[in-house]
Structure 1
Amino acid sequence: MPQVRADLYALTRIPSVSLDAFDPAHVEASAEATAALLRAEGLEVEIVREGGRPAVIGRRPGPPGSRTVMLYAHHDVQPPGDEALWDSPPFEPTERAGRLYGRGAADDKAGVMAHVAALRAHGDALPVGVTVFVEGEEEVGSDSLPTILERHGEKLRADAIVLADSGNWDVGEPALTTTLRGNVRAVITASTLDHGVHSGMFGGVVPDALMVLVRLLAALHDDEGNLAVPGLREGVAADLDYDEARLRRESGLLDGVEPVGSGSLLTRMWTKPSLTTIGIDAPSVATSSNTLLPTAAAKVSMRIAPDEDDLAAFERLREHVLAHVPWGARVEVELDERGAGFAADAEGPVYDEARAAFHDAWGVAPVDIGVGGSIPFVAAFAERFPDAAILVTGVEDPDTRAHGANESLHLAEFERVCLAEALLLARLGALPA
């Protein structure tokens, strides 16, 4: 573990933000560093670029007749955001109270290093064939993934796929992620005028675009805060112990602010549709003037049930918005991005061995969880490799704060993740052919 941690710190120091506004040389450097780590473990490695950021594919055969396992992670990271909100520099890994702080320390460079650690644990006696696939643009939507799967899919084909980009139920309580919500992102644009006009002269008669947009956004939820778009699927989450006190602690919900929606808390977060307005194009408070706006737009992110069709969900959203247009305003609803959800049939020998490996590493049985966020590449792998058992695992815990300031990795949990993956490879190697 000391060398695994040292290599993780070195990876975390590379600011491999994959957004176009950031220097792509850092993502290239991260790909090269990942490739070097895999080559050192005896893998035959190539860096592939299919129109986007570089991905790394490493392969090493197992004993004759053994199973093949594909290990997935990603080496790109989110932007650090406002560095003033960090307690230590985001790209200088820093240990405090048993946690490692840094952008990408958990999401997902710890996933990369968990795979490397499992390979190191077995040395020259690898019990299964292994393919390691480390993507370079997961944080910007994996646009190249369909092409990679089309052109390099046979290199990635495996009996089991371990996708290390999720988390555990709590510190000391491992989990397998068996459901993920899908995502539909759309832009709603409202127009009422061909130019801005004085609000004192025409206000009270002429509707402005922001007034229309606010009405449309309000129509997306009922009085309880449930998504009001009709016809969307809903599921029921696993019955795990999760109360409002834990919700408040983990989310930072302010005192006096009530949760929205109906149904169990986990159902609301994991299997029911929800919608968030994530951006609005309108004048800022600091630069505003007394003007009726001719046009205003909002970007909304709608999470959908794991088994919902993403294109059908967008059409229902679009129809609902257009059905609530007030005062004859001109409104357009455009699809910005979409991704399917995922629901695993988490039964069979591979899942049995995974649960046993988790139990051996943590000393307690894992639970099956859902995740309210979306990881569209999981559905892409499930579609491309329908016969493979897909295990969604990860290193995060409820205090990881992935994508936010002070992202961190619980180091004791990370060690258990590494151990569990090494044990999983051993158990899969021991399964009868």
Structure 2
Amino acid sequence: MDHGVLRETIRNLWEGDALAGLSEFVSIPALSPAFDGLWASNGHLHAAVEHVRKWLAARPVPGLTVEAVKLPGRTPVLLLEAPGTGSDGTTVIYGHLDKQPAAGEWSPGLDPWIPVLKDGRLYGRGAGDDGYAAYAAGAALEALHRAGGRYGRTVVLLETCEESGSPDLAAYLDHLRDRIGAVSLVICLDVAGGDYERLWLATSLRGIAFLDLTVRVLESGVHSGHSSGLVASSFRVVRQLLDRLEDSRTGEMLLPELRVDVPPDRLAEIREAVAEGGLRPELPMTPGVRLAADDPVELVLNNTWRTTLSVTGASGLPSLVDAGNVLRPYTGLKLSFRLPPTADAEVALSAIRTALTTDVPYGAQVSIERAAGAGGWNAPPLAPWLVSTLDKVSHEVFGRPWRAIGLGGTIPFLGLFARAYPDAQFVVTGPRGPGNNAHVPDEWLHLEQTARVTEAVAHILSQRP
């Protein structure tokens, strides 16, 4: 393989055809079904699939086929198949084409649906999460062909409901099982790393459990002068119930079902990454506010291997300007738990429900609605061939050693892939990093890092046994 041609092809694509295609993709408001109940009739998801299909089908790769697959009542997927020239087995490259909504006001000169190229970044919704994945996969295959590289059979699978929790993906994995075949390597292009200077692999993801908790003490509000001290505040009951779950001073979870032992290899990865100055969070901290811990290793563990509780919504609480001297009848909170990668989400959710509904203070009425959960993911050990390939790629492409970290978010499809392909190796990576603003205003994609990650993917494809 001519490494110079490989790099030049990828660079040219990300400065030209791939960048142009991704820019047009940004302009399609392909909201995930959770944010567009009329997605089927609105047609934006189908438009995104068709736009990317045409771009991928134009790649000059021998034997390449691209098809939009549509099961009745489900969001479509895009399936690319390239027969390859090398080993047996199949590599699956994953990405998704559905998007988050605008999520607020964007900065002057920026817009979620108008691509803007500025300072080496492409701004726009879906550029970094996760439209680039389709173009990176196509660019890697085209570059391998032009450079004379050998690679095994490769399938690119692009779904359109990831931002809704991938509810349709399992059905498609089952439907396409025979076409996809025996999978030996999964490359996922939908995560962020610790910086823009090296190749980052995600080796774990947290699970999630969430529910709506409502505590009611009165049928209707009562003047607080007439009722306080006679009836306990619903908010006080909520506080007592939450104290069963969490130490409010430290954030430590008190239920054993919400705690796990951190695997030694993951702890070693975290310490190694921290020692090299990686994992620097860029958060919009209010002046004077401190992080939850001083030790950076503890911060990473908090974010990747420990359960955290966040109150993400509330009801029964009037706005400050509208609040009067009333003992409110109820307090409702949306509770969101990020669970350790190896915790059982169903067991955790059951334990949470029991703690919140057993022996409730003052006999207050407790209701739990919309409770659900999803498991996390912990990567299998890397095979020797993959370790040596990553070492070589990192030196040649990035000039720095690769690093592995866990991520604090939840991506359900990785658990699906792990169950569907239990013998596969996993490379979970991407060009996103600190400050990239996925899911919030001013989303952007680091184009230089994207080209490097694309080149790394091409090398990994060429080295798969």
Flag whether TM exceeds 0.5 (same fold). yes
* Structure 1: gaps of 5 or more residues: none
SS at match of 2:253: coil
Shift of 1:165: 0.7
Question: Within 5 Å, which residues of 2 pair with 1:29-428?
Answer: 29-41=47-59, 42-49=64-71, 51-63=73-85, 65-85=87-107, 88-123=110-145, 127-157=151-181, 158-217=183-242, 219-222=244-247, 223-236=249-262, 237=267, 238-242=270-274, 250-260=282-292, 264-285=298-319, 286-323=321-358, 325-334=360-369, 336-348=371-383, 349-428=385-464
SS at match of 1:239: helix
Q: Distance in 2 between matches of 1:102 and 1:148?
A: 29
Question: In structure 2, do the counterparts of structure 1 residues 332 and 410 end up closer, same or farther at CA, with 3 Å as the change threshold?
Answer: same
Shift of 1:290: 4.2
- Percent identity over the alignment? 30
> What is the identity, as a one-letter code, of the residue corresponding to 1:15?
P
Q: Distance in 1 between matches of 2:347 and 2:290?
A: 31
1:80·1:103 contact (CA, 8 Å) conserved in 2?
Answer: yes
SS at match of 2:431: strand
Shift of 1:177: 0.8
Q: Distance in 2 between matches of 1:205 and 1:259?
A: 40
Shift of 1:304: 1.2
Shift of 1:176: 0.9
Shift of 1:188: 1.2
**Cα deviation per residue 1:185-215 (whole Å; 9 max; x = unaligned)?**
1221212223333333323312343443344
Q: Distance in 1 between matches of 2:162 and 2:333?
A: 24
2:273·2:279 contact (CA, 8 Å) conserved in 1?
Answer: no
SS at match of 2:291: coil
2:273·2:405 contact (CA, 8 Å) conserved in 1?
Answer: no
SS at match of 2:179: helix
2:106·2:112 contact (CA, 8 Å) conserved in 1?
Answer: no
2:217·2:365 contact (CA, 8 Å) conserved in 1?
Answer: yes
> What is the identity, as a one-letter code, of the residue corresponding to 2:302?
R
Question: In structure 2, do the counterparts of structure 1 residues 246 and 192 end up closer, same or farther at CA, with 3 Å as the change threshold?
Answer: farther
How many matched pairs?
428
SS at match of 2:176: helix
Q: Distance in 2 between matches of 1:85 and 1:203?
A: 46
1:17·1:77 contact (CA, 8 Å) conserved in 2?
Answer: yes
2:234·2:328 contact (CA, 8 Å) conserved in 1?
Answer: yes
- Which deviates further from its counterpart, 383-392 or 245-254? 245-254
Shift of 1:311: 0.5
2:122·2:446 contact (CA, 8 Å) conserved in 1?
Answer: yes
Q: Distance in 2 between matches of 1:234 and 1:85?
A: 41
- Which deviates further from its counterpart, 134-143 or 417-426? 417-426
Shift of 1:74: 0.4
Q: Distance in 1 between matches of 2:393 and 2:73?
A: 38
- Which deviates further from its counterpart, 230-239 or 310-319? 230-239
- Which deviates further from its counterpart, 347-356 or 94-103? 347-356
User: Which residue is equivalent to 1:12?
Assistant: 26
> What is the identity, as a one-letter code, of the residue corresponding to 1:39?
A
Question: In structure 2, do the counterparts of structure 1 residues 247 and 426 end up closer, same or farther at CA, with 3 Å as the change threshold?
Answer: closer
2:430·2:450 contact (CA, 8 Å) conserved in 1?
Answer: no
Q: Distance in 2 between matches of 1:86 and 1:184?
A: 37
1:61·1:129 contact (CA, 8 Å) conserved in 2?
Answer: yes
Question: In structure 2, do the counterparts of structure 1 residues 56 and 412 end up closer, same or farther at CA, with 3 Å as the change threshold?
Answer: same
Q: Distance in 2 between matches of 1:159 and 1:20?
A: 32
- Which deviates further from its counterpart, 22-31 or 207-216? 207-216
> What is the identity, as a one-letter code, of the residue corresponding to 1:49?
L
Q: Distance in 1 between matches of 2:97 and 2:391?
A: 26
Question: In structure 2, do the counterparts of structure 1 residues 339 and 354 end up closer, same or farther at CA, with 3 Å as the change threshold?
Answer: farther
Under a length normalisation based on structure 1, what TM-score does the superposition of the two structures give? Answer: 0.91
2:95·2:159 contact (CA, 8 Å) conserved in 1?
Answer: yes
2:340·2:376 contact (CA, 8 Å) conserved in 1?
Answer: yes
**Cα deviation per residue 1:326-359 (whole Å; 9 max; x = unaligned)?**
2211113345331111111232123442443343
Under a length normalisation based on structure 2, what TM-score does the superposition of the two structures give? Answer: 0.85
2:96·2:161 contact (CA, 8 Å) conserved in 1?
Answer: yes
> What is the identity, as a one-letter code, of the residue corresponding to 2:91?
V
2:213·2:369 contact (CA, 8 Å) conserved in 1?
Answer: yes
Q: CA RMSD in A?
A: 2.5
Q: Distance in 2 between matches of 1:221 and 1:85?
A: 37
**Cα deviation per residue 1:69-126 (whole Å; 9 max; x = unaligned)?**
1110000111111125565111112122222211111111112211111122123766
SS at match of 2:219: coil
1:216·1:324 contact (CA, 8 Å) conserved in 2?
Answer: no
Shift of 1:162: 0.5
- Which deviates further from its counterpart, 174-183 or 226-235? 226-235
> What is the identity, as a one-letter code, of the residue corresponding to 1:207?
A
1:18·1:53 contact (CA, 8 Å) conserved in 2?
Answer: no
Question: In structure 2, do the counterparts of structure 1 residues 219 and 406 end up closer, same or farther at CA, with 3 Å as the change threshold?
Answer: farther
SS at match of 1:234: coil
Q: Distance in 2 between matches of 1:337 and 1:251?
A: 28
- Which deviates further from its counterpart, 143-152 or 206-215? 206-215
